[in-house]
Amino acid sequence: MEPTHKLDVLGHYCPVPVNQARNALQKLKPGEILLVVADDPETTHDIPLLVNRMGHNLLVTLEDSGEFHYTIEVKQ
Active site residue 14: yes
Residue 40, helix vs strand vs coil: coil
Calpha distance 17→23 (Å, rounded): 10
Catalytic residue among 3, 4, 5, 14: 14
Active-site residue numbers? Answer: 14
